[in-house]
Amino acid sequence: MWTAERQTIPERSQPYAAGMLLHAIRYFPKTPRRAYPANVKTEPTSTTVQGLKKLQRIHQSSGKHWVGNGFPVRSVFDYNGLGRELSPFLLLDYAAPHPFAPGTEKRGVGAHPHKGFETVTVAYQGELEHRDSSGGGGKIGPGDVQWMTAGKGIVHEEFHSEAFVREGGTLQMVQLWVNLRAKDKAAPPGYQTLPKAQIPNVDLPEGAGTVRVIAGDFGGHPGAAKTFTPINVWDVELRAGKSTEFPLPEGHTTTILVLSGEVGWPGEGEPSERTVAREGALAIFTRAGAGVAVAAKTEAHILVMSGEPIPEPVVGHGPFVMNTRAEIEQAFEDYQLGRMGELI
């Protein structure tokens, strides 16, 4: 997906002209907002650090905006802001439950490109349909996940399924962008549908809840997705009043989105506005430490994300995230010349 500020790409349906590329490039900031390595917040990542990761802060997601006519999302973070600290994660959009009346008009975002990263779409309510230039495509419904590797360049479209448009209903979903290392940015585009039934569902100890292992590993249960960048993505339901500890690698960037309910962090002192997270909030933890502790004040639904930081520059523009500005300009040209393929 992309958001309003990402819409500086000329339509592919227009014939390519050098002027158009220049037009696109004119929108580039003259200089990157600042030069930064992806892991700009340097913290001790020594493996000798014992204990849990500490809560750094709780970040509230921004107000709602529409992506196309189908996705009422809140931007939790993106690569021009907080995403700079959260390497390898670049962007997170959260569509809180939103009712759609039955309709006839296509809802979503038409053909647009991506390059240099992966998009992970988790559907919680509603049904989405995807089609891309690698030949990938399919529908995902509640509990299903789409994992798209844009790699060296892909064109895709994202819509509500026809049945969901016709019948209407509630939509709830997230889309996470995961960066690729420079060496993987040239990977062939790929697409994985991960149906709910293929995602391991693991019980937490002492009836604290359940973990759906979308990617990575939880307690020896490998996740459903094949990933380039070492990450964990766990979709977690917690029971009210229960606390639990999630083992997570030392040195991993670690962040948790609260989808519903209210959670706190044992060991962070008395619960307060600083330490309790509610729907739409993102908790950010130190890279140092070997896990996080979570206490569910109420029944809660959270998305746990951890990943190995990529110590490389991040230069993003619109739907492309590369390492240099020249590579972004190349991506614009490749897209406009049709080198990212056509929808199949």
Q: Does 150 contact Mn ion by CB under 5 A?
A: no
CB of 150 to Mn ion, least distance (A): 8
If the CB atoms of residues 1 and 321 are measured against Mn ion, the closer one turns out to be: 1
Q: What is the distance between the alpha carbons of residues 222 and 125, in angstroms, rounded to a whole number? A: 25
Which residues lie below 8 Å from residue 325, measured CB to CB, with a gap of 6+?
A: 28, 32, 315
Type of residue numbered 91: L
Please state the separation of Cα 206 from the chain's center in Å: 30
Find out whether 123 and 104 touch, Cβ atoms under 8 Å.
Answer: no
CB of 154 to Mn ion, least distance (A): 9
If the CB atoms of residues 3 and 229 are measured against Mn ion, the closer one turns out to be: 3
Q: What 3-state DSSP class applies to 68? A: coil
If the CB atoms of residues 133 and 260 are measured against Mn ion, the closer one turns out to be: 133
Q: Does 263 contact Mn ion by CB under 5 A?
A: no
Find out whether 36 and 42 touch, Cβ atoms under 8 Å.
Answer: no
Which residues lie below 8 Å from residue 182, measured CB to CB, with a gap of 6+?
A: 312, 323
CB of 119 to Mn ion, least distance (A): 6
Interaction residues for Mn ion, span 267-286 (CB under 5 A) = none
If the CB atoms of residues 117 and 228 are measured against Mn ion, the closer one turns out to be: 117
C-alpha angle 321/191/88, rounded to 5°?
A: 35
Straight-line distance from the first to the last Cα atom of the chain, in angstroms, rounded to the nearest whole number: 18
CB of 156 to Mn ion, least distance (A): 6
If the CB atoms of residues 1 and 96 are measured against Mn ion, the closer one turns out to be: 1
Number of other residues whose CB lies within 10 A of the CB of residue 270:
7
Type of residue numbered 10: P
Type of residue numbered 14: Q
Type of residue numbered 219: G
Q: Does 1 contact Mn ion by CB under 5 A?
A: yes
If the CB atoms of residues 1 and 120 are measured against Mn ion, the closer one turns out to be: 1
Tokens of 79: 């690569």
Which of 1-9, 81-89, 98-106, 310-318 is the region at the interface with Mn ion (rule: CB under 5 A)? 1-9
If the CB atoms of residues 115 and 252 are measured against Mn ion, the closer one turns out to be: 115
CB of 221 to Mn ion, least distance (A): 29
CB of 17 to Mn ion, least distance (A): 25
Nearest Cα to 137, choosing from 118, 112, 156? 156
Tokens of 311: 């110590």
CB of 157 to Mn ion, least distance (A): 8
The 3-state DSSP composition of the chain as helix, strand, coil percent (nearest 5) reads 10, 45, 45
CB of 193 to Mn ion, least distance (A): 16
Tell me the residue nearest to Mn ion as measured from the CB.
1
If the CB atoms of residues 1 and 211 are measured against Mn ion, the closer one turns out to be: 1
DSSP category for residue 224: S
Binding site for Mn ion (CB under 5 A): 1
